[in-house]
Structure 1
Amino acid sequence: MKNIFILILLFSSLLQAKVIEVGITKPIKSIKKAIDLANVDDTILVDKGVYKEGNIVINKRIKFIGQGFPILDGQKKYEVLSVKADGVIVEGFKVINSGYGTLEDPCGIKVYNRKNVVIQNNILENNFFGIYIQNGTKCSVKNNKISAHGKQEQLIGNGIHCWKSDSLQISDNTISGHRDGIYFEFVTNSIIKRNFSTKNVRYGLHFMFSNDDAYVANIFKNNGAGVAVMFTRRVKMIANVFEENWGDAAYGLFLKEISDSYIIGNKFDKNTSGIHMEGTSRIKVEKNTFEANGWGMKIQASCMDNTIKNNNFVGNTFDISTNGSLVLNTFDSNYWDKYEGYDLDKNGIGDVPFRPLSLFAVLTENNPSAMLLFRSFMITLLDKSEKILPSITPDNFIDKTPLMHSLSL
């Protein structure tokens, strides 16, 4: 009986919901007026055109739909669209020219302390922050195109910025030209999937204090410093591409003070460092490909109990580097294209252990200017000698079961 009563209420509310049309040729020409007239669950349809109405605030549960990508122009003065109600849907708009400010963080679209908000299929251009979820729950940001033209990170905000939120879905967005493409701080139980984050001033993706999240099948290409995951636990990083993140302090993926996480099935291609690890523990790095990087992995001495297993290391200048002599991590069954051992029993595993840490990698870690000697005959001779009689590289920095053939990943 109770369920029937709820169904009747829902059905009656749907019957009462109305569609309000806004446009130059319509009786209602103002978006703000349409919102004032709307009731809960109404739909506002906005025709193609340019709307300069300052800060537009949605304060009731409605569907806010653009037809032909009407332009909401903040005129470089205002936050363009503020969502202050649960269950709002924003779709089909071109949002441009938000104001600028480092204290209030004006945005193209900002959600304030709400749940079940959907922001999808929009275009955002030249905003300080693109889309901002503040203290949101079960919100979705999907299939938006977000771009800006930032040159310095102090003068531009993030493309998708999420703060103190839970159970978000950030999927299928394209982000470029912002400070960070996607930024998570104090965000839990959320997923970032199938996004393309490129040419951002700092990071393609930036995690801070955000536990129990996952990012899957994203592409992070040609950003200032790649991706950073810091002060975080239980993060799953699966099937992403980290590509062409070059620079003196750049990397595909930077890990700092994180633990109990998974890095599985990713591709690190043409980065200064594929992965740079500081203060990490209990990380599983499995079934990844490190190809054509300056360094495949930099594992600092502060890292422990990490497992590097079943990965391909191909065409890197240095496969592995470290800044210490104590090794508390495990290398097992990886493919190394620099391995020159043999496999007499033909089981696909090299009979001679492989030491992935070269003498020259150790020297350049402590003396970067030594790179001037790279590929010289003397350095090649030293590296060959070190492999036969290790003296400087750590004895236990070793893969005892190197693979003879690369893995199909």
Structure 2
Amino acid sequence: MIKLFSHITMVFFLMTSVLSAQKTEVCKTCEISTIARAVEKAKPFDTIEVRAGTYKEYNIGITKPLTITGEGNPVIDGEHKGEIITIRSDNVTLAGFTLVNVGTSYTTDYAAIRVVKSKDFNIRNNTLERLFFGIYLEKARQGKVLNNTIKGDAVNEYNSGNGIQLWYSNNVEVSGNTVQNVRDGIYLEFSDNIEIRNNKSIDNLRYGLHFMFSNHDTYTENLFENNGAGVAVMFSKFIKMRDNTFRKNWGPSSYGLLLKEITDSELTRNTFESNTQGVRAEGVSRMTFTENDFANNGYAVKIQGACYSNTFSRNNFLYNTFDLSYSGRINENNFDHNYWSDYYGYDLNRDGTGDVPYRPVKLFSHMTNRIPEAIVLLRSTFTGLLDFSEKVTPVFTPPGLMDNAPEMKKIIW
């Protein structure tokens, strides 16, 4: 009974606060001419409207529920002095601003917008430029980061930050954002139940998306293009990766997607195009790879050690230099009903699958793993003879590694 009464009291308080909320205008000629002053004077659940102009402010602290909106795209210039806005309250909305010139430090992760131990926040339709960290969520939950544009000018990893960072944050939607020219486009650590959808992460120094120790996360319909090392998903489980595009991630240590110590996850209907390595898997188990396109990559899929009980089914392997690279002599993964552009078998009963199994691992890929300099022999007659002999009598590749039912036509999904 006491608990019910306390809930009723809280609801009544919130309704009263919302109904009595006031609106404050901020402009150069208004009674209140700075954002910090407006925040200080505002009551909980008030609305602050900031008119067009440039406001040279930093360390704006928000400790009460507020809606702060920019009209005419006002600019908040931090003058490289530190953090610009820090939110330490539930129910805060920040929308319609351009934030520039975040401070840079080797000891403090200054951000344009930081949310600390708060919930029900909404950070949307902002533009962030000349930054250290962009949007930093620290032990935050049940919020949204929507339709923001984040553009850094990162040159070196050691003095640059991430575009959107989540640390110990749960149940957050990150959607419709564009992030470029920072260290990691989107970074998650110890963050569960995160939805990352319809973002563009391009031209970043290191990873387009990087997350570690984060479970039950979903990322869908994102574009990761021309990032220094592609995308990395590490030490996590129950991850769903669907309908993403991984494109033009080139370099000696670059891949479309690095999977390291991942279990019980799925990779479905993604496109891997023109990457040094489409997917690199290390310590991956109980994962399904279904209906993905691997096109024009150096290596479509590179499987390293401790990968087992994974299923590759109904994927298209199209004109890659190497469709599959495999370390070790034991195969504990299943490859069936995939389309391989290098398959030249026949289908006498016309059921759509080849009558001859396909061995996707070429001996030359095994050789280049051991001796990288051997790549200069690519396309030579010598490599053709090597690959043919390995198909006839497998010696270096796992004898059971084959697609027993290769598709005769490209799979449409």
TM-score, normalising length: structure 2: 0.96
What is the aligned partner in structure 1 of residue 27 from structure 2? 23
Deviations 1:338-368 (A, max 9, x none): 0010000000010000000011111111111
Pick aligned residue for 1:392 from 392, 396, 412: 396
Match runs of 1:95-134 below 5 Å: 95-134=99-138
Aligned to 1:37: 41
Check if 1:260 corresponds to 2:268.
Answer: no
Note the C-alpha offset of 1:13: 2.9
- AA partner of residue 80 (structure 1): I
Aligned residues of 2:282 and 2:304 also touching (Cα < 8 A):
yes
1:135 is the counterpart of 2:139? yes
Give the conservation status (yes or no) of the 8 Å contact 2:325–2:366: yes
Aligned to 2:356: 352
Contact 1:158 1:181 in 2 (8 A): yes
Partner of 1:200: 204
Determine helix, strand or coil for the equivalent of 2:141. coil
Question: Superposition pairs for residues 122-201 of structure 1, below 5 Å?
Answer: 122-201=126-205
Q: Which amino acid aligns with 2:211?
A: F
* 1:217 matches 2:238: no
Q: Secondary structure at the match of 1:204?
A: strand
CA distance 1:342–1:248, change in 2 (3 Å)? same
Amino acid at match of 2:158: Q
Indicate if the aligned counterparts of 1:296 and 1:319 stay in contact, CA closer than 8 A.
Answer: yes
Shift of 1:5: 8.2
Q: What are the within-5 Å matches in structure 2 for residues 227-246 of structure 1?
A: 227-246=231-250
* Aligned sequence identity (%): 45
Q: Which amino acid aligns with 1:258?
A: I
Deviates more, 1:7-16 or 1:148-157: 7-16
Residues 1:364 and 2:368 aligned together: yes
Q: Which residue of 2 aligns with 1:406?
A: 410
Aligned partner of residue 301 in structure 2, secondary structure = strand
1:380 Cα offset (Å) = 1.0
| In structure 1, distance between residues paired with 2:156 and 2:321 | 30
**Distance change >3 Å, CA 49–CA 285, structure 1 → 2:** same
8 Å CA contact 2:161–2:183 kept in 1: the answer is yes
| Structure 2 match to 1:80 | 84
From 335, 338, 341, give the equivalent of 1:337: 341
Q: Which runs of 5+ in 2 are unaligned?
A: none
Aligned to 1:309: 313
Letter in 2 for 1:397: L
CA distance in 1, matches of 2:33, 2:165: 32
Contact 1:322 1:365 in 2 (8 A): no
Q: Which moved more, 1:1-10 or 1:275-284?
A: 1-10
Determine the structure 1 residue equivalent to 2:382: 378
Amino acid at match of 2:193: N
User: Is contact 1:323-1:366 (8 Å) kept?
Assistant: no
Distance apart, 1:113 and its partner CA = 1.0
CA distance in 1, matches of 2:72, 2:323: 50
User: d(CA) in 2 for partners of 1:139 and 1:6?
Assistant: 21
- Shift of the alpha carbon at 1:213? 0.5
Asked whether the equivalents of residues 355 and 397 of structure 1 are also in contact (C-alpha less than 8 Å), the reply is: yes
Residue in structure 2 matched with residue 325 of structure 1 by the alignment: 329
**Contact 2:326 2:397 survives alignment (8 Å):** no
Q: Distance in 1 between matches of 2:16 and 2:62?
A: 23
Q: Mapping of 1:50-61 within 5 angstroms?
A: 50-61=54-65
Are residue 273 (structure 1) and residue 277 (structure 2) matched?
yes
Residues 53, 319 of structure 1: alpha-carbon distance in 2 compared, 3 angstrom cutoff? same
Instruction: Give the letter for the 2:357 counterpart.
Output: P
Task: State whether residues 301 and 325 of structure 1, in contact with CA within 8 Å, keep that contact through their aligned partners in structure 2.
Answer: no
The answer to whether the 8 Å contact 2:328/2:397 transfers is: no
* Change over 3 Å in CA distance of 1:98–1:317 after alignment to 2: same
Deviation at 1:11, TM superposition (A): 4.8
**Residues 177, 198 of structure 2: 8 Å contact kept:** yes
Query: 2: CA distance between counterparts of 1:389 and 1:231?
Result: 37
* CA distance, structure 1, for counterparts of residue 89 and residue 12 of structure 2: 24
Measure, in 2, the Cα distance between the counterparts of 1:11 and 1:169: 26
Rounded Cα–Cα distance in structure 1 between residues aligned with 2:21 and 2:269: 47
Q: CA offset at residue 10 of structure 1?
A: 5.1
Task: Output the amino acid matched with 2:169.
Answer: S
The Cα shift of 1:401 comes to 0.6
How much does 1:15 deviate?
3.1
Evaluate the alpha carbon distance shift between residue 257 and residue 53 of structure 1 in structure 2; reply closer, same or farther with a 3 A threshold.
Answer: same
